[in-house]
Amino acid sequence: MADWSNPAPHPIIYVRGYAMTRGEIDATTADPFCGFNIGSTVFRAGPDRQKPPRKFMFESPVLRLAKDYGYGDVFLDGEDLTELPPGSVGIRRRSVIVHRYYDPASTLLGTSDTPSIDTFAVKLSELIERVRDLAESGEDKVPHDAFRCYLVAHSMGGLVCRTFLQNPYGDPRGVRKHVDKFFTYATPHNGIDLAGVNIPSWLTANDIRNFNRDYMARYLAIDPAQFKKTRRVDWIPEGALPSRKIFCLVGTNRMDYEPAMGLSRAFAGHGSDGLVRIENAIVCSADGDATANPTAKAFVYRSHSGYFGIVNSEEAYQNLTSRRSACRKPCGTKRRARRWMRSTRWRCSPRRAASCGT
């Protein structure tokens, strides 16, 4: 047992984004993969909306992970294996698991009462513990101490993950140590600003205050001195998860974000994905009130969601599964993909590091 090794890849736990209305909550509850199975047939080659989009078939993250890496789901005979008693079943290491945190809030499978974001984080802790136990019972026989997983999150899902990672009360099962890497799509790490104003804390309807910085500072357990000094919440302690294990993917296409008949993109303004401003979609590592290492990031011309959304895109999938590095050869310079799921760290260039959260 002491010589057992657990090389990558590891189970992927997907955490979806914010659902505003009861109808949206029911829609995501009715979807086994909560949107991670949605593909796309179009993409923009440029910012001019008067020009028609180009056709490009992206099957979905779930299907591509299955085709390219042999990942599978955790459903069997109508059952979600993560909800069955421990020891009764097992899963493969190459599995995609969905954190279905909106189920209790739906009219289909729940009580119609939406839990707090703190509760979503606690449930993530419980889910990781169950996945760990299932992996031990599965064909790979992964021991508890060797178990690792990837957290992949869209929008508010990234805040759920951060609450689990950096707020001690968000991880009652003590499984934070099992997270190998953390990848976010369009997460409002520093909240949401509309018309230049942060979402107010008194706007509690539909849990919109989850994106207010004062409220975020509490559930993310941001160091008080640091928050007072910077008035920012896009910090994660290096001890919670090393910055080299975090990657932020940022959308830059605001014009194709359609919710609220385009009002959202109008108020979010230029330099956004239609909802989240670019400077708010990146997280930096810090210890106390001192800035530490910036996390790696990349920018893609995709909107927050929709037909041109960031999750259901080839560009995002390539960033999820690979890291580019130069490969020098005598005949010239070529580029090769170093697979994210086998990479030990991400690097952020000094030029990009200078713009991180400051």
* Whole-number Å distance between alpha carbons of 301 and 79: 38
Q: Does residue 274 lie in a domain region?
A: yes
- Residue 185 counted as domain residue: yes
Q: pTM (2 decimals)? A: 0.89
Per-residue confidence (pLDDT) for residue 332, from 0 to 100: 28
Residues of 109-141 as b/e, b for ≥16 C-beta within 10 angstroms? ebeeebbebbebbbbbbebbbbbbbbbbbbebe
By CB atoms closer than 10 A (0-12, 13-18, 19+), residue 241 is buried
Total number of domains in the chain: 1
- Cβ atoms of 41 and 182 within 8 Å: the answer is no
Q: How far is CA 24 from CA 34, 235, 263, in A?
A: 11, 30, 18
What pLDDT does residue 267 have?
81
Per DSSP bridges, beta strands 75-76 and 79-80 are antiparallel
pLDDT tens by residue, 296-344? 999 999 999 999 999 999 999 999 997 532 222 322 223 333 444 555 4
The answer to the question of residue 177 being in a domain is yes
Span 105-151, pLDDT tens digits: 999 999 999 999 999 999 999 999 999 999 999 988 889 899 999 99
Assign 267 to helix, strand or coil: helix
pLDDT of residue 6: 66
pLDDT of 13: 98
Tell me, yes or no, whether 209 lies in a domain. Answer: no
Burial of 261 (0-12, 13-18, 19+ CB in 10 A): exposed
pLDDT score of 9? 86
Residue 304 lies in a domain: yes
Residue 186 lies in a domain: yes
Q: What is the CATH number of the domain that holds 181?
A: 3.40.50.1820
Report the interhelical angle of 156-166 vs 117-137 (nearest 10°).
Answer: 80
Rounded Cα–Cα distance for residues 245 and 296 (Å): 9
Task: Going residue by residue through the chain, which has 358 residues, state the pLDDT in tens, using 9 for 90 and above.
Answer: 344 566 778 999 999 999 989 999 999 999 999 999 999 999 887 788 888 999 999 999 999 999 999 999 999 999 999 999 877 899 999 999 999 999 999 999 999 999 999 999 999 999 999 999 999 999 888 898 999 999 999 999 999 999 999 999 999 999 999 999 999 999 999 999 998 999 888 777 788 999 999 999 999 999 998 899 899 999 999 999 998 999 999 999 999 988 876 778 888 889 999 999 999 999 998 775 555 567 899 999 999 999 999 999 999 999 999 753 222 232 222 333 344 455 545 444 444 344 444 3
The tokens describing 209, both together, are 């205050």
Q: Which structural domain, as residue segments, surrounds residue 334?
A: 12-196+234-353
List alpha helices for 150-271, DSSP H.
Answer: 156-166, 213-219, 224-230, 263-268
In a domain, 224, yes or no: no
Q: Decide if 131 is inside a domain.
A: yes
The CA dihedral of 207, 303, 271, 262, to the nearest 10 degrees, is -70
